[in-house]
Amino acid sequence: MQVFLNQLVVGLSIASILLLVALGLTFTFGQMNVINMAHGEFIMAGAYTTYVLQTALGTGLITLSFGLALPIAFLIAGTMGLILEFTIIRRLYGRPLDTLLATWGVSLMLQQLARDIFGAPNVDVTAPSFLDGGVTVAGVTLSHPRLFIIGAVTLVVVAVAVYLQRTPAGRRMRAVMQNRPLAAVSGVRTTRVDRTTFFIGSGLAGIAGVAITLLGPVGPTLGLGYIIDAFLVVIVGGLGQLRGAIFAALLLGMANSFIEYSTSTSIAKAAVFLLIVLFLQVRPQGMIVQQRRGLAS
Amino acid sequence: MIAGFAVAAIAVAGCGSSDSGGGDAGSGSTTSAEPGVSGKTIKVGVLHSLSGTMAISEVSVKDAETLAIEEINKSGGVLGKKLEPVVEDGASEPATFAEKAQKLISTDDVAAVFGGWTSASRKAMLPVFERNKALLYYPAQYEGLESSPYIFYSGATTNQQIIPGLEYLKDKVKVAKLYLVGSDYVFPRTANKEIKAWAKANGMQIVGEDYTPLGHTEYATQINKIKSVKPDAVFNTLNGDSNVAFFKQLKDAGIAPKDIPVMSVSVAEEEVRGIGAKNLAGHLVAWNYYQTTPGAKNKRFVAAYKKKFGSDRVTADPIEAGYVQVYLWAESVKKAGSTNPEKVKAAAKGLTFDAPEGTVTVDAENQHISKTARIGLIQGDGQIKEVGSSGKPVAPDPYLKSYPWAKGL
């Protein structure tokens, strides 16, 4: 029972990280069909933002710099996304394989850029003191950073849901996703919507970057560790589906946690991949499918 | 990545037959008799990962090697000629290391190559150097059980690092139950095989053994496992980025060094910077050199390194080994009066050098070097304090022949 509870919490915690890194991709990959391999580098940009702010503000203001890092990382990563969209991706819409190659090249360049600016070794990002330690409930230890990430991802998901459902901009975004030509003839400026979508999707990666400085390494190759998992969540969840991404992250997190406890990390990874392959055989469109109105698929 | 491991696997399979020693000196060599020498310069190769996941560690070693080359040139060079480094990027891929090594030997005609870090990269380069009868100087500590006639090993082998680490845990920390955590590749798997054999002979119980892929950053499950079996200590052979995640999450889970100390063999001052000293303070490491190691020679080395690369940089064991191995090669060449690999090898036998870590001696048979084993305690400022030492250099024993428990490994 104790083990079960412990691993349940671990699963939840893995799921929250998966969801956080994948949220941005549900926009760019899910809605715009752009395979953005540089998404991981936007996460890295968020992590380095935290580091830069912390270094600039000094060790006395770590809580402040961490708090500031969240919105600033969103803006920085979002702006990087905008630049990428404007310079490269808008020329490649409808050619997912080309976006894959082009953004992969961008990803390598950004990694090398980070290496040139910050040096090849990892940098140390100190967690704010209120995130030190953890609480123990019923014999299960919940560390504060993990609780923070679960809280942060909940907030971000709610914010994204409200944006998509309740705001005019969100409705336009959904309209373009569901039927681009119809949205265009109804007066929606699709290029502007694309740009906004890319800004938000990339910005969310920046927020993820700030959060994962609490748990993992901050270095030039940080993004590589998360990019594959993020794509898995989006594909299993169903393209462009917020609910799907949540279910998929939970499923993958739990599967990872329980299989890993009873076997080993490498086997758990392989087993989870196998499960995904089997699942996609049965349901290639993912967990949740978009209802489309229109003749064109 | 997969391709890299495949190459490494082939290299592992291939190296068993090549340990017999280089008896046929000179004859049939594909390199020139005096490789690297042209006009007023001698070319040497520097081959490390300047990109990819291992750049984190290897860039600093490359820096130390170029520093040594610069110093040697300032004091007159070798055989009256200046050294000219040819720097190549192994890109963290064993296959690239093999390819670039071949390029350095055949296209650049270098006198020797300083390079490599992961055992996978060394295993991939080994057949290249043996085939070309060219010299590789390898700076990282490793798992032992290898002795190529064309490789000089300037990092520690098992009996100079891991076994002293285990003995310290047994004698000073009174550890009876040990938990093993490592990355899933050749070094941790082999090292843990040796650790288990040692533990069996020394009455220490291994209560768990876990491997995670390189680059893994989620350690909650491992930490739960550690909590449930309550070991007296953890022996950590994780490499690279994973260490950051492991130590951050260990601390957040409320496991302090006084409860369960972790002994690491791949965490040095350089890595401490990235992990954060406060996440590591109080844990143990086993190495042969620390930035705090006393001695005038080390003081000079630390000052020169910081002057060239910045006052925020630190020196560490593999960085020092990279620096030392350039000098070992240069001294051997001076003694031999030639860059010919066979003559250099002959001159290197028993060569001593006054290194920052103390006087080291090149072993006449296995081309490893004698090193003083030092156990360190990580401090809050990121430096490492020596808390245990073998007192004198330990002779390298890569095949652990002098240890009865190691039979059958």
Do B166 and B235 lie in one domain? The reply is yes
Q: pLDDT class for B9, splitting at 50, 70, 90?
A: very low
pLDDT (0 to 100) of residue A292: 60
Candidates B56, B227, B243, partner chain A, best to mutate (most A CBs within 10 A): B56
Q: List, for residues A53-103, the tens digit of each pLDDT value.
A: 988 887 778 788 888 899 999 999 999 999 999 999 888 877 888 888 999
Do B192 and B283 lie in one domain? The reply is yes
For the cut 90, the answer to whether the pLDDT of residue B288 exceeds it is yes
User: Of the candidates B154, B95, B106, B111, which has an alpha carbon nearest to the alpha carbon of residue B131?
Assistant: B106
Mean of the per-residue pLDDT values of chain B: 89
Q: List, for residues B158-214, the tens digit of each pLDDT value.
A: 999 999 999 999 999 999 999 999 998 889 999 999 999 999 999 999 999 999 988
The mean pLDDT value for B350-367 works out to 95
Nearest CA of chain B to the CA of A45: how many Å?
17
Q: How many residues does chain A have?
A: 297
Is A76 part of any domain? yes
DSSP H or E stretch at residue B83: strand B82-89
Is A292 part of any domain? no
Cβ neighbors of B2 (< 8 A, separation 6 or more) are none
Is B274 part of any domain? yes
Nearest residue of B to residue A226 by CA position?
Answer: B217
pLDDT (0 to 100) of residue B253: 87
> Per mean pLDDT, which of A58-72, A279-293, B218-232, B294-308 is the most reliable?
B294-308
Do B57 and B109 lie in one domain? The reply is yes
Do B346 and B251 lie in one domain? The reply is no
The mean-pLDDT minimum among A151-165, A171-185, A192-206, B20-34 falls in: B20-34
Nearest residue of A to residue B53 by CA position?
Answer: A221
Question: Taking a C-beta distance cutoff of 8 angstroms, is the pair B153, B322 a contact?
Answer: no
Residue numbers of the domain that contains A90: 2-282
Nearest CA of chain A to the CA of B55: how many Å?
6
Do B178 and B303 lie in one domain? The reply is no
pLDDT (0 to 100) of residue B15: 40
This model's pTM is above 0.80: yes
Number of structural domains chain B divides into = 2
pLDDT (0 to 100) of residue B21: 39
Residue numbers of the domain that contains B332: 34-156+298-361
pLDDT (0 to 100) of residue B182: 94
Nearest CA of chain B to the CA of A70: how many Å?
20
Of B108 and A6, the structure prediction assigns the larger pLDDT to B108
Question: Taking a C-beta distance cutoff of 8 angstroms, is the pair B285, B376 a contact?
Answer: yes
Tokens 């270094």 map to which residue? A55
Strand ranges for A59-214 from DSSP E: 134-137, 140-143
User: Of the candidates B130, B202, B141, which has an alpha carbon nearest to the alpha carbon of residue B166?
Assistant: B202
Whole-angstrom distance, CA of residue B284 vs CA of residue B278:
13
The mean pLDDT value for B302-329 works out to 96
Number of structural domains chain A divides into = 1
Is A54 part of any domain? yes
Nearest to A216 among B56, B57, B244 (CB): B244
Whole-angstrom distance, CA of residue B73 vs CA of residue B50:
24
Q: Which two tokens stand for residue B358?
A: 């103390």
Q: pLDDT class for A28, splitting at 50, 70, 90?
A: confident
Question: Taking a C-beta distance cutoff of 8 angstroms, is the pair A209, A46 a contact?
Answer: yes
Chain B residues with beta carbon closer than 8 angstroms to that of A261: 221, 224-225
Do B184 and B268 lie in one domain? The reply is yes
Whole-angstrom distance, CA of residue A166 vs CA of residue A236:
26
- Residue B235 φ then ψ, to 5°: -105, 120
Whole-angstrom distance, CA of residue A75 vs CA of residue A46:
9
pLDDT (0 to 100) of residue B56: 77
Do B234 and B381 lie in one domain? The reply is yes
B375, β-bridge pairs: B286, B388
Q: Please give the single-letter amino acid code of residue B181.
A: V
Whole-angstrom distance, CA of residue B296 vs CA of residue A90:
61
- Residue B78 φ then ψ, to 5°: -125, 130
b/e map of A194-219 (b: 16 or more CB within 10 Å)? Answer: bbbbbbbbbbbbbbbbbbbbbbbbbb
pLDDT (0 to 100) of residue B25: 40
Is A8 part of any domain? yes
For the cut 70, the answer to whether the pLDDT of residue A107 exceeds it is yes
B368, β-bridge pairs: B153
pLDDT (0 to 100) of residue B18: 39
Q: Which two tokens stand for residue B366?
A: 């296995």
pLDDT (0 to 100) of residue A291: 65
pLDDT (0 to 100) of residue B31: 53
Do B276 and B380 lie in one domain? The reply is yes
Is A99 part of any domain? yes
Between the CA of residue B258 and those of B233, B282, B310, B407, what are the distances in Å?
A: 10, 8, 34, 35
Nearest CA of chain B to the CA of A176: how many Å?
37
Whole-angstrom distance, CA of residue B120 vs CA of residue B108:
24
Q: Percentage of residues in chain A with pLDDT exceeding 90? A: 38
Nearest residue of A to residue B243 by CA position?
Answer: A217
Candidates B183, B252, B273, partner chain A, best to mutate (most A CBs within 10 A): B252
Candidates B218, B219, B229, partner chain A, best to mutate (most A CBs within 10 A): B218
Question: Taking a C-beta distance cutoff of 8 angstroms, is the pair B209, B192 a contact?
Answer: yes
The mean-pLDDT minimum among A10-24, A283-297, B43-57 falls in: A283-297
Is A294 part of any domain? no
Nearest to A121 among B51, B224, B270 (CB): B270
Is B28 part of any domain? no
A207, A210, A214, A216: CA torsion to nearest 10: 100
Q: pLDDT class for B303, splitting at 50, 70, 90?
A: very high
Is A295 part of any domain? no
Do B280 and B167 lie in one domain? The reply is yes
Candidates A55, A213, A260, partner chain B, best to mutate (most B CBs within 10 A): A260
The mean pLDDT value for B357-366 works out to 94
Do B187 and B125 lie in one domain? The reply is no
pLDDT (0 to 100) of residue B7: 44
Whole-angstrom distance, CA of residue A289 vs CA of residue A238:
6
Of B127 and A7, the structure prediction assigns the larger pLDDT to B127
Report helix, strand or coil for B210.
Answer: strand
Is A218 part of any domain? yes
Mean of the per-residue pLDDT values of chain A: 87
For the cut 90, the answer to whether the pLDDT of residue B36 exceeds it is no
For the cut 60, the answer to whether the pLDDT of residue B6 exceeds it is no
pLDDT (0 to 100) of residue A120: 77
Do B314 and B386 lie in one domain? The reply is no
Q: Please give the single-letter amino acid code of residue A20.
A: L
B313: left (phi over 0), alpha (psi -120 to 50) or beta: beta
Q: Indicate the pairing of strand B41-48 with strand B113-115.
A: parallel
Nearest CA of chain A to the CA of B339: how many Å?
33
Q: pLDDT class for B24, splitting at 50, 70, 90?
A: very low
CATH assignment of the domain containing A252: 1.10.3470
Is B367 part of any domain? no
Helix, strand, coil content of chain B in percent (nearest 5): 40, 20, 40
Is B20 part of any domain? no
What residues in chain B have their Cβ under 8 A from chain A's Cβ atoms?
Answer: 50-53, 55-60, 184, 210-213, 215-218, 220-222, 224-225, 228, 241-245, 248-249, 252-254, 270-271, 273-278
The mean pLDDT value for B320-333 works out to 97
User: Of the candidates B271, B297, B300, B308, which has an alpha carbon nearest to the alpha carbon of residue B382?
Assistant: B271
CATH assignment of the domain containing B175: 3.40.50.2300
Tokens 């190769």 map to which residue? B45
pLDDT (0 to 100) of residue B5: 42
Do B201 and B329 lie in one domain? The reply is no
pLDDT (0 to 100) of residue B2: 41
Of A2 and A185, the structure prediction assigns the larger pLDDT to A185
Whole-angstrom distance, CA of residue A62 vs CA of residue A67:
9
Cβ neighbors of B272 (< 8 A, separation 6 or more) are B280, B314, B378, B382, B384
